[in-house]
Structure 1
């Protein structure tokens, strides 16, 4: 169990870009990438994995996952949306992300995105605590003939839970298109 606790801590689930991390000036693409690398680099699976690239940002802009960028500079609102995209892309398709963020992008001037994003951060922090408790408690429930088989069962359990969460999220995205 101690190994699992160490593993969970090494995953840095708490890493988040906060509104306070973002300078009060618009940033160029290289500065955006640097900020995201600094914030999320310890959360990547290995050193080769990129948090964010110019191609990714350009694809988000072309795919209309972000409201239009002005003079090649990204505002605080753009950065908060890119952070949400970063969180969503691990589970949802680009089309589902576009659908999810469409209302925000269309109403960016009417939404207090800072407040909305802070609500997301509070939820994320609570999710991390619940997740760690849940994973740890499930470990005690799993018994097999060998440690390797126990680990395989644990992996299967985590993937199954992940699939259920993903499918539920996809159905909620589908509901956004029908409202």
Structure 2
């Protein structure tokens, strides 16, 4: 059991350096599809296991354009806005459906604008990933009681389900709000 704990701590220490580029840190260049795929992989491969499934493919990007989740490329080139959308979508599709992601992106974009919504997403995602270390460090202390090492996976999975449930409900309510706004226009 001690060996597992040491490996978890080492992994959590590595995650502490995880960073998603904020809007101003994204390349301000026109990029081709292969460059976009390489960048998304570079940014997200530390936290998403691409061995289980590809992070992002050209076919996925084309589908997102067809579904109007991201804007169409201009002369087969992608910009900062595309990268922001694709980073958020690739992360969020680990826990939400594409329709839920689309609704959430539309809602957030209308509320605070794409740049601010993207930067907020980056900060929240980094904070959540960095929180992993707190869950693993020493005797895990949640709600003022120690959590045995063997319960970490159970607690993480059940919290993950609960957080997913909350996200789905919020997106459902956002969808209802957007539909109401569209009907009144």
Q: What is the TM-score normalised by the length of structure 1?
A: 0.77
State the Cα deviation string for residues 37-84 of structure 1 (Å, max 9, x = none). Answer: 222233342557432111111121122211233222112111101111
Q: C-alpha separation between the residues in 2 aligned to 1:31 and 1:173?
A: 31
1:157 aligned partner: 155
The within-5 A match list for 1:130-145 is 130-136=131-137, 137=140, 141-143=146-148
1:147 aligned partner: none
**Is the 2:18–2:46 Cα contact (8 Å) retained in structure 1?**
no
**Is the 1:13–1:128 Cα contact (8 Å) retained in structure 2?**
no
The within-5 A match list for 1:1-179 is 1-11=5-15, 14-45=18-49, 47=51, 49-103=53-107, 112-136=113-137, 137=140, 141-143=146-148, 151=150, 153-179=151-177
State the 1:3 CA deviation.
3.1
Pairs aligned (count): 169
Q: C-alpha separation between the residues in 2 aligned to 1:13 and 1:58?
A: 31
RMSD: 2.8
**Is the 2:108–2:117 Cα contact (8 Å) retained in structure 1?**
no
State the Cα deviation string for residues 155-176 of structure 1 (Å, max 9, x = none). Answer: 2221111100000000000011
**Against the structure 1 CA distance between its residues 9 and 73, is the aligned structure 2 distance closer, same or farther, given a 3 Å change threshold?**
same
Q: C-alpha separation between the residues in 2 aligned to 1:120 and 1:59?
A: 22
Q: C-alpha separation between the residues in 2 aligned to 1:166 and 1:177?
A: 16
State the Cα deviation string for residues 124-171 of structure 1 (Å, max 9, x = none). Answer: 33333434213442598344xxxxxx53x3222211111000000000
Q: C-alpha separation between the residues in 1 aligned to 2:98 and 2:16?
A: 24
List gaps (5 residues or longer) in structure 2. Answer: 178-185
Q: What is the TM-score normalised by the length of structure 2?
A: 0.75
More displaced 10-residue stretch of structure 1: 128-137 or 84-93? 128-137
